Amino acid sequence: MNTSIKKTALITGASDGIGLELAIIHASKGDNLVLVARNKPKLENLKLSLEKAYKITVIVIEKDLSSIDAAKEVYDETSKQNIQIDYLINNAGFGDFGMFYDTDWDKESNMINLNITALTQFCKLYVKDMIKRGNGKIMNLASTAAFQPGPAMAVYYATKAYVLHFSEAINNEVRDKGITVTAFCPGATESGFQEAASMEESRLVKGKKMPGSKEVAQYGYKAMMRGKSVAIHGFMNYIMANSIRFAPRALVVKMVSYIQGEVK
């Protein structure tokens, strides 16, 4: 791969939803891709279609990023192939809907490993290379869930709060080194997330018209390229995320509990 001519984006969770749409956007801009996900057949099909349509090079890495040190294994693979990562997009993540005392620990442990540990390790590894070069962009998928506690999705909301605060902090640390870190905070999106989180009956999504993954991905891409520290998709999401800081915290928790709805 000739990385001196084309830039390369590494995208996790690239087989579906926002990650897939981000892959298409980067390909359309002429960027080479490293696509990481568990579903290798989907990645291989995406690779074939993007390489044919945009004359780029796509590397597929099948990896369960909830496994310990999976991010290091991906980094070692790109280093071995001498691939320079110009855009790091930590998109992979999942949630779970249910009362904390009823939910499954193994699933939550994997959620923490994926949403927090893998994301942090990817940043730790690739940002050092970016600093040596003096350029690079990182986008970490947070969520509007990051701005408040989330009864019925307690662990998920907490992981996204971590992503938001972590991203803002390291963005401050590396801005003068030619690097930007964007915490991208979409709201509920038509992406398959709700089904995976078993929250189709939640008031947050049931019967609601949600923006599509393509629209959300386009907003996130533009925000990353502008170097925005925090990017919240949707006017009402922006209002809600920022108005919460003026409300009593006890009221905020009650509001979120109502919006999420009863757990069946």
Position 1 in a domain = no
> One digit per residue, pLDDT tens: the chain, 264 residues?
444 579 999 999 999 999 999 999 999 999 999 999 999 999 999 999 999 999 999 999 999 999 999 999 999 999 999 999 999 999 999 999 999 999 999 999 999 999 999 999 999 999 999 999 999 999 999 999 999 999 999 999 999 999 999 999 999 999 999 999 999 999 988 755 555 545 555 555 555 677 899 999 999 999 999 999 999 997 787 777 777 776 667 776 777 776 776 555
Number of domains observed in the structure of the chain: 1
Structure confidence at residue 189 (pLDDT): 84
Structure confidence at residue 197 (pLDDT): 47
Range of the domain at 151: 8-260
Position 190 in a domain = yes
Contact 73, 4 (CB under 8 A): no
Token reading at 228: 């925005």
Contact 199, 95 (CB under 8 A): yes
Task: Write down the catalytic residue from 54, 126, 156, 221.
Answer: 156
Question: Which CATH number is 172's domain given?
Answer: 3.40.50.720
d(CA 84, CA 151): 41
DSSP 134: T
Position 47 in a domain = yes
d(CA 212, CA 189): 6
Handedness of CA 22, 28, 31, 35 (dihedral sign): positive
**pTM confidence score:** 0.87
Position 167 in a domain = yes
Helix or strand holding residue 181 (H, E):
strand 179-185
Position 151 in a domain = yes
Position 3 in a domain = no
d(CA 237, CA 243): 10
DSSP 234: S
Note if 221 is an active site residue: no
Structure confidence at residue 163 (pLDDT): 98
d(CA 123, CA 170): 9
d(CA 138, CA 10): 10
Position 2 in a domain = no
Position 189 in a domain = yes
d(CA 8, CA 139): 14
Contact 123, 140 (CB under 8 A): yes
d(CA 126, CA 78): 10
Q: Compute CA distances 69 → 30, 118, 129, 140, whole Å.
A: 30, 7, 18, 18
